[in-house]
Amino acid sequence: MLATFYDISIERAFTLLAASKTGLSDAEAASRISRYGYNELPKVGGPGIFSLFVSQFRNFLIILLLFAVGLSVFLGEFIEAGAMLSIVLLSALLGFVQEFRAERAMEALERISAPTARVVRSGRELKIAARELVPGDVLVLEAGDIVPSDSRMFESFSMQIDEAALTGESLPSLKVTVPFKRGTTLADQENMAFMGTVVTYGKGRAVVTATGRRTEFGRIASSLALDVESKTPLQVSFERLARQIGLAVIVLVFFVFVGGMLGGESSLARMLVFALSLAVAAVPSALPAIVTISLAMGAKSLAARNMIIKKLPAAESLGSVSIICTDKTGTITRNQMTVTRILSEGRVFGVSGTGYEPVGKFLLDGKEVGTGHFELLLRAGCLCNNASLSNSGNRWEVIGDPTEGALVVLGEKGGVASGQLRERFELVQELPFDPERKMMSVIYRRRGSRDAAAYVKGAPDVLLRNCDRIFSGGRVVRMSESDRKSIMDANDAFARDALRVLAIAYRELPPLRQYDISSVEDCLVFIGLVGMIDPPRPEVAAAVEQCRSAGIKVMIITGDHAVTAASVAKSIGLFSEGDVVLTGDEVERLSEAELAKVIGQVRIIARALPIQKSKVVDALKHNGHIVAMTGDGVNDAPALKKADVGIAMGITGTDIAKEVSKCVLADDNFASIVNAVLEGRNIYDKLIKSTRYLLSCNMGEIIAVFLAVMLRFPLPLAPLQLLLMNLVTDGVPAMGLGVEPAESNVMRRSPRSRGEKPITGRSLLMISLFGIVMGAGTLFTFSLYSATNLALAQTVAFTTIVMFEMFAVLGSRSLAPFSKLNPFSNKWLLGGVVLSVAIQVAVIYWHPLQSVFGTVPLGLPEWFRILSVSVLGFVLMEMGKFLVQQPTIAKGTKS
């Protein structure tokens, strides 16, 4: 159905739906299933196992390595080809295992859908499978039901629905039957019941207006299915780097081949072999595996910090985040209504403690006071109440309406337990909350007595009109106009601080069996006001300040009202004078270009719908931000998937939010995000260090082979020697760089830009300088023996490069001078160096490996020359680091 139903009368709704309050006939329902389809969400699942595995190869660096495998096969080096292929498969397998459960969003949505529904058909009430609902069906709803479709209310008996998962509202929505004006936001359509939301109180009836993909849930599901997941900044950067390496290899091979032929080389085949060998040497074979392993190790470290990584590249992306877009309810706040202020006997008392834990103090002018001043207020709040408090595994929970739960917790803090009250008092009659009366009343009789009293709570302005007396000084006195004014002034002050305010009153009643509403809710005695709010988590303010120190902006995007969001934002230091608040409607009216212009000053987006959250993410990305989005509800899912880093809440998050996100925050603690950002930045640092080190090693190998070809020397390295270096002797220490501790300035840097290259100009200069020294030194030691013993010369060259690489990895730990580092702080790196040297020694001196790699034993004179040249290279590397990089280090930035 394409019509809107919130803005028309119920009679008009039944007419459009060709239905009535007696329900459809079975035949008509069957006909409509043929027309509209089953009440099911679109089934667009994630990739299958095979597709997910194949997707691991859609990486240009992997493609480049596969090209090298092909070259090795062409050259007849099948062992070399098999070893490189094994590395490719290892990298793919690691990524596959981590991402196996990452794309199950539609299955999660289906789990949210209600399995059965109670309907009226042909005047009879019956239970059917929810998938068989059709537009025009009459739904019967009561507390505890999951709403199975989008529906228009036509009967509501104090019915309230928790819509937080869909709209972000922290309070249940009280359902009415009157129409609203066109343009009313989804969160304010109080005459509609939406699929997947939960009835928390009361009962009612509604006519089905939309099913399946046409529901609000269905629209979100469709947008998730069509949305193409963007690549992370790391993926973009490394694919760009791989293309640059590939282009450099092609150019280098071309010049070597042409240069050799022009230089007088007569054998075309020999030059082709040389050129292709150089191409194999140029590809950093271990890099894909190193990147994957580093990300996996980072993901494990992040899990220890309560951040579960579902998409491996997201482990690093956390470190590049420049703005966090966060929901308010349940993320910034606790999603637990808490009474923080009360008015009793003309005085305002503060109440400490947050959430549902019944621990707190009552304060007057900052000093703790007893509860004798407002014992009647606490008792009335607990009795005029249907909620209860429970403790499950040291986690306090409210069963029932959150507002009523806040009153129960308030009573517990003051020593008034609702359970004990009900043992002393007997419920005689309940008059449920009604949107017209805006009040709820209960009548209790003390057990063993005929005396009864009514306890009433409701909207202050309405309830106060029904009060003619006030409880003051321990007795009941006539209410004056001055009393009324002071009460309303206090109500206004509470409301300005974004508190939800309830008034509480009572009256003594004669002993009757049945009471009339008009007699009960009139001539009341005013007891006091209670002000409550969903409070911020206590650790959030410090987390926001840490984000600010790290150059990360925080923006609240919520379905709540602007006043409430601004009050919470001010309390955590996120909002100040000059900051901008936009509403979802304003976001909707702005063009993408207009929104991109103003979004930089915005701190809060209030009354936001899912599509508007996604629009905000698009605007931030357009401005160059790397966006993280936190959320827990279905309403967050599209933006979570679109953001660079979607972070779902692990405890309160819906299944769909967890499934579409790349990360899950296990403890729902906003502060944990800051720890994750630190770890993410360290992961990126370690990846860059590993990459820089591997490229330095490859550069040295390339220059050694290139110079040998140009100078018409024999090939200084055999193909299998090149492979062993690329995959083992420089790959193993590179893994050690993956556990390097974070540098001290990691959280004092500004976030890097989206287009920042992993290898900057300075880094490339360092790589080139070290490569030249390594290549020239290797060719020098090779030339000492090449004229007399080629096997010995190649073994010396092979070992020279390996020792260069061992010193290089020690220098790659930091841009700071090696002398300022603790040489024993990274035992994994030292172990990798020892293992690589041991492997090299085995290759040189163990006969079975000598025959495979074409090596011969070395004597002390050869080792002396090798170590002298490689140590000299390390010294020159440190000098180059000091001269080129030290200014950058002093500024505390990355180069």
Q: Is 327 a known active-site residue?
A: yes
Cβ partners under 8 Å of residue 565, min gap 6: 328, 556, 558, 581, 604, 606
d(CA 476, CA 527): 9
Long-range Cβ contacts of 118-121 (<8 Å, 24+ apart): 118/145, 119/23, 120/21, 120/22, 120/23, 120/205, 121/23, 121/24, 121/25, 121/26, 121/29
Determine how many CB atoms are found less than 10 A away from the CB of residue 73: 14
Query: Beta strands 602-606 and 580-583: pairing type?
Result: parallel
DSSP string covering 524-561: EEEEEEEEEE-PBPTTHHHHHHHHHHTT-EEEEE-SS-
Element (H, E) at 158: strand 150-162
Residue 124 phi/psi, 5-degree rounding, is: -110, 135
Judge whether 699 and 768 are in contact, CB under 8 Å. Answer: yes
Beta carbons of 42 and 218 less than 8 angstroms apart: yes
How far apart, in whole angstroms, are the C-alpha atoms of residue 755 and residue 829? Answer: 31
State the DSSP H helix or E strand holding residue 605, giving kind and residue range, or none if neither.
strand 602-606
Which strand (E) or helix (H) includes residue 883?
helix 860-890
Tell me how far apart the alpha carbons of residues 66 and 70 are, in angstroms, rounded to a whole number: 6
CA distances from 272 to 157, 280, 675, 794 (A): 86, 12, 52, 20
CA distances from 166 to 153, 643, 654 (A): 18, 19, 10
Residue whose structure tokens are 């923080």: 340
Tokens 């199950």 locate to 104
Residue indicated by tokens 């100078």: 711
Name which of 644, 629, 808 is nearest 736 in CA terms.
Answer: 808
How far apart, in whole angstroms, are the C-alpha atoms of residue 356 and residue 113? 29
Interacting residues of 359 by C-beta distance below 8 A, sequence separation 6+:
353, 413
For residue 694, give the nearest of 94, 238, 98 by alpha carbon: 238
Tokens of residue 436, six digits: 């017209």
Quick check: helix, strand or coil at residue 194?
coil
First to last CA, the chain: 58
CA distances from 888 to 276, 321, 322, 450, 745 (A): 38, 22, 21, 84, 12
Tokens of 708: 């040998």
Hunting for tokens 């956390």 — which residue is that?
Answer: 318
HEC states along 108-149?
A: HHHHHCCCEEEEEECCEEEEEEHHHCCCCCEEEEECCCECCC
Of 145, 150, 327, 534, the active-site residue reads 327
| Identity of residue 48 | G
Residue 339, classed as helix, strand or coil, is: strand
Residues 458 and 508: their CA atoms lie apart, in Å, by: 18
Q: Which residues of 424-460 are buried (b: 16+ CB within 10 A; e: fewer)?
A: ebeebbebbbbeebebbbbbbbeeeeeebbbbbbbeb
- Active site members: 327
